[in-house]
A and B are shown apart, each in its own frame.
Chain A
Amino acid sequence: MKATVLVRPKPGILDPQGQAVESSLRHLGFEVSDARVGRLVDVDVATDDKADALAQIERMCEQLLTNPLIESYEIELEQA
């Protein structure tokens, strides 16, 4: 089952990348604020069971994909 994990810097965490991106967007003439830059991980989990896939990805996030102190995550499961 294919899934996408969105990893974001937690609110309140300094995000210099987001600030740089926001500043560039403003230079281009866009009126934007609160730009934050995170990370996206696509993964294909070897199961067809949705609950199982979710449970596995949550463990992946806790063990490796995110640092819970500074990052939050969101899981999107793709329907086969």
Chain B
Amino acid sequence: MSEPRPVIPVIVWPGSNDDRDAQLALERLGAESPRIWHTDEELPRETAAVVLPGGFSYGDYLRCGAIARFSPVLRAVEAFAAEGGLVLGICNGFQILTEAGLLPGALRPNASLSFVCRDVPLYIERTDTPFTSRCFEGQELTIPVKHGDGCWFADEGLLGELDANGQLMLRYAAGANPNGAVADVAGVLNADGNVFGLMPHPEHAVDPLLGSADGALILGSLVDAARLSLTAAV
């Protein structure tokens, strides 16, 4: 009998476009990843973690993620997160989590006003989280970004607080910030440590053939943590 496959659903909104890549990556890493439609009011009973994928939910009208935040499935995601469930938001998923107030800060149009699509070097600042356990401290990862609204913002007070709490755990390497995000922040963890959002796309970097397999470290960490919660629950 092989290791149990934790159920990690990937949410799909009209306009999501990275859901299949996320599903493929998670399943290759040992998860069971059904795609869940945005009108569903409940997550599968066995859900061990949830992924909010990249794309342009509801056309990204008004502000990125502002409308997806009110979709029925997000009620279920919020309830899941409130009970300590693991939630990972990638790109548009990150934007939705900030709009929903599950993650701090906000994402603004890139400082360059250009859509950026390229590999970026990143630094992991913490390895004691469910999203980075496969990494080593200070590890540099290469993972692609592709976004027009990735300029993460927090005012000075909030920034200091998050930094002190170790929540700014993924940053662009010096000089490689692709969007003008404050403090070179590429990814943010919530205070409880169970919700993580990032602009780079780990699901697009899970095989050397894609130029990098570093994304598998993040998604693999999530699969490990989800599997652990599974065995803990039994």
> Which of A25-33, A43-51, A63-71, A72-80 is found at the contact surface with chain B?
A63-71
Q: How many A-B residue pairs have CB under 8 A?
A: 35
Give the docked Cα–Cα distance between A2 and B111 (Å). 35
Say whether A67 contacts B110, CB under 8 Å: no
Interface residues of chain B: helix, strand, loop or mixed (majority): loop
Say whether B109 contacts A70, CB under 8 Å: no
Residues of chain A in range 1-17 having any CB-CB distance to chain B below 8 Å: 12-14, 16-17
Which A residues form the contact surface with B (CB < 8 A)?
12-14, 16-17, 20, 39, 64-65, 67, 69-70
In this complex, how many residues of chain B approach chain A with their Cβ under 8 Å: the count is 19
Instruction: Pick the residue among A12, A14, A20, A64 that contacts B62 (CB under 8 A).
Output: A64
Query: Considering the complex of A and B, which 7 residue pairs feature the smallest CB-CB distances, nearest first?
Result: A16-B113, A69-B106, A70-B106, A16-B111, A67-B106, A16-B109, A20-B113
Instruction: Pick the residue among A12, A16, A64 that contacts B112 (CB under 8 A).
Output: A16
Say whether A64 contacts B153, CB under 8 Å: no
Q: Does B66 contact A (CB under 8 A)?
A: yes
**Chain B residues, CB < 8 A from A17:** 109, 113
28 A-B pairs with C-beta separation under 8 A: A13-B153, A14-B108, A14-B111, A14-B153, A16-B109, A16-B110, A16-B111, A16-B112, A16-B113, A17-B109, A17-B113, A20-B113, A39-B62, A64-B62, A64-B66, A64-B67, A65-B62, A67-B63, A67-B66, A67-B99, A69-B105, A69-B106, A69-B153, A69-B154, A69-B155, A70-B106, A70-B108, A70-B153
